[in-house]
Copies of this chain bind each other. A is one copy, B any other.
Amino acid sequence: MEDHVNLLLEIFLAFGAAKLAGEIFERLRLPALVGEMAAGVVLVPVLGAIHGETVLEVLPEIGVVFLLFEVGLGTPAKKLLEVGGLSLGVAVLGVVLPFGVGALYLYAAGHSGYEALFGGAALVATSVGITARIFSERGLLETKVARVILGAAVFDDILGMIFLAVVSGIALGGFSWLGLGIVILEAAGFVLFLIFWGRRITQPMVRQVEKFKTRNPAFAFALLFCLGLSVVAAEIKIAAIVGAFLAGMVLSDYDAKFRLKEKFEPIYDFFVPFFFFALGAKLSPEALFNPATIGIAGAITLIAILTKLLGCALPVWRMGFRNSVAVGWGMVPRGEVGAIVALVGLSAGVISEAFYGVVLFMVTATTLIVPPFFPIFLKNVKPSPGPAPETGVEVEPASPSAN
C-alpha cells in the first residue's frame, strides 16, 4: 500500500485541485463538477502527479455511493405518486427517444452491441441541478415550465436507475435475452419493492435507533442503510449505486425529523469531488483527440441534445412552442449518471477508452451548453401566482458538484 505520507499528500493534492478548479469554473459561471473533472485530467493523465488507488479508486468509489444517496434523498418516493401526467410524459419520452436513437445510431455506425447499449443508456438520465438553479436565480421556480421539469426529473431519476441497473447486469453477466429479462425484472422489482415497502422496513429500525445513546445515531443509521443497500444491490448484480439511490429515496421521509441532508452535506463535500476527479483521471486525452473519435463525440452530443429536446417538448406541445422548447431545453444536461454508465462499461472492459471519452465529452457538452442559451427560451416564461411548487427536487444555489 501507498505509504502514509503519500496517502495524505495525494488526498491533499486531489481534493485541493478539485476544489480550486471547481471554484474557478463557478466564477466563470460554468458548473463546478466540470472543473473537478478537469482537475483530474490535468493532474493524472497530463501531469501523472497521482498514482495511489486510494485517491483514484477507493475514495471515488465511496464518493459515488454517497453522491447517489444524496440524489435519492432529494427524490422522495411518495412524490412519485404525485407527479403529474405532463411530467410523466416528459420523463418517459425524454428517456425512450435518446436511448433508442442513440443506440441505433451507434450500432449503425459500426460500434459493438455493448457500446451501442452503453452509449444509449448514458443518454438517458437528465441531471436537472443546473436547470433548477437557473430557475431559482430568476425567481421562476413557481412557473408551470419549472414545475413540469422538476416533476419529470423525479421520475427520470428512477428510470435512469433502472437503465443503469440493466446495463450493469449486462456488463457483469454478459448479454443474453434471458439475462436481460431477468435483470430488468430484478431491477424493477428492487425499485418497486423499496418504493412501496421501504417505509415499512425502515420504521421499526428507526424506532430502535431513536433510543440510541451515542451521538447522531440516526445519521450513522442512514450511512449504514446506504452502505447496506449498496451491498445488496451489488450482490444481486445491480449496480451498488442503485442501492444507494434507493436508500436515499426511502430515507428522504425522515429528513425533516433527523436533518439528514444537513448532516450529510459535509460527507458529500468531502467525498464527491474525488469521484468527479477520478472521472477526469480516467480520461485518456490521446484516445479522445483523434478525428474519428471527435466525429463520434460530436454526433452523440448532437443526438443527446436533439432527442432530449424533442422527447421532452412533444408531450407538452399544448403549452405553446416557446414553453415546450423551454421544457425540452431544461432537460438537456446529462450528468453523473451518464458518466457512471460509461465508467461501469470501462471498468467491465466492454467499452473502449475512446468511447469512455466520447460519453464524458457528451456529458460535459450538454452541461455547458444549457445555461448560455436558456435565457432565450425563458423570455416568455413569467412567474405565475400560486403556491410554492412541491416537486421533491431540492434546489441548492451553490452546490459545488451536483450540477
| A61 and B228 form a contact (CB under 8 A) | no
A265 to B234, CA, bound (A): 29
A224 to B396, CA, bound (A): 23
| B224 and A12 form a contact (CB under 8 A) | yes
A22 CB within 8 Å of chain B: yes
A36 to chain B, nearest CB (A): 10
B-contacting residues, A1-60, CB 8 Å = 1, 4-5, 7-9, 11-12, 15-16, 19, 22-23, 26-27, 32, 53-54, 57-58
A232 to chain B, nearest CB (A): 10
A27 to B214, CA, bound (A): 9
| B398 and A8 form a contact (CB under 8 A) | no
| A15 and B227 form a contact (CB under 8 A) | yes
A264 CB within 8 Å of chain B: yes
A346 to chain B, nearest CB (A): 13
| A215 and B399 form a contact (CB under 8 A) | yes
A400 to B23, CA, bound (A): 34
A205 CB within 8 Å of chain B: no
Q: Which residues of A contact B (CB under 8 A)?
A: 1, 4-5, 7-9, 11-12, 15-16, 19, 22-23, 26-27, 32, 53-54, 57-58, 61-62, 65, 212-217, 219-220, 223-224, 227-228, 230-231, 234-235, 240, 263-267, 269-270, 396, 398-400
| B231 and A398 form a contact (CB under 8 A) | no
A17 to chain B, nearest CB (A): 10
| B231 and A9 form a contact (CB under 8 A) | yes
Q: A11-B62, A58-B7, A240-B5 are in contact. Are A266 and B216 (CB under 8 A)?
A: yes
A320 to chain B, nearest CB (A): 35
A3 to chain B, nearest CB (A): 9
| A26 and B216 form a contact (CB under 8 A) | no
| B65 and A58 form a contact (CB under 8 A) | no
Cross-interface CB contact of A220 among B4, B19, B217, cutoff 8 Å: B19
A16 to B216, CA, bound (A): 14
Chain B residue with minimal CB distance to A66? Answer: B270
- A62 contact set on B, CB distance < 8 A: 7-8, 11
| A231 and B15 form a contact (CB under 8 A) | no
- A228 contact set on B, CB distance < 8 A: 12, 16
Provide 21 A-B residue pairs closer than 8 Å at the C-beta atoms, listed in order of the A residue.
A1-B58, A4-B61, A5-B240, A8-B61, A11-B62, A12-B224, A15-B227, A19-B224, A23-B212, A26-B214, A27-B213, A214-B398, A214-B400, A215-B265, A215-B269, A215-B396, A215-B398, A215-B399, A216-B400, A220-B400, A267-B267
